[in-house]
Amino acid sequence: MSVSERVFPEGLDPGRVPAHVGIIMDGNGRWANQRGQPRKAGHAAGEAALFDTVEGGLDLGLQFLTVWAFSTDNWKRPPDEVRFLMEFNRDLLRRRVDELDERQVRIRFLGRRARPVPRRVISEIVDAEQRTEHHRRMTLQIAFNYGGRSELADAVQRVGEDVAAGRLDPKKIDEEAIASRLYRPDAPDVDLLIRSSGEQRLSNFLLWEAAYAEFVFTDVLWPDFRRKHLFEAVGAFQRRERRFGKL
């Protein structure tokens, strides 16, 4: 669908669309187990869910959509599943970068890029980012080898390095100093955070950025998630009153 053919979802307020939506894509394994299939089948089925949701984000006019593809804790999974996820995410970029580029979507990654992430995967990440870096219609941020605590630890380490190098006065270490050293400091805070599969926890995702996010938990397993579920979550977001500590 072209840019000109986009239709804003009926029943939503175009003036109250969240600037930044984060999604914990959960439930791939359970989806596969329910069908007597290997967990890998659930991860593969989640690709259609992700890209229908991206299309929904474009319908809404989202500025930022951040999805969690692989956490720093996922290295604890069985080695064959980890290997599959590494190759799957690499191949996903190869398969989808053309259509994301065509839709003027900027691709960015959040997370650590050192070992044990294979160099061939990092190469695909860099290529996708460079190819789409000029787009601003929507930014799709993929959290890969990402953990919220790791991001904060890395930010604090950069603060320490800047203090040691004389680039930062220790007396000026404040929230802004830390926020400016996160992985993607130019991204706005998360307004709406969605988790699929019925689980109701943050699980170390975007801890700093989601400080004032509205949460929507859905029982839908991720491979069954579609743009209509995104629209439902945005509808719930629009019905809430956000006070940010004020009365």
Token output for 230: 């995104």
Query: CB–CB of 203/74 below 8 Å?
Result: no
Out of 28, 33, 59, 74, which one is annotated catalytic? Answer: 74
Instruction: Tell me, yes or no, if 189 is annotated catalytic.
Output: no
Q: How far is CA 118 from CA 45, 83, 125, 231, in A?
A: 23, 10, 11, 36
Query: CB–CB of 77/107 below 8 Å?
Result: no
HEC-encoded secondary structure of 113-139: CCCCCCHHHHHHHHHHHHHHCCCCCEE
The whole-angstrom separation of Cα 190 and Cα 47 is 23
Is residue 169 classed exposed, middle or buried when 0-12, 13-18 and 19+ CB atoms within 10 A define those classes? Answer: exposed
The whole-angstrom separation of Cα 68 and Cα 65 is 10
Out of 26, 28, 89, 191, which one is annotated catalytic? Answer: 26
Helical (H) or strand (E) element with 177: helix 175-179
Q: Active-site positions?
A: 26, 74
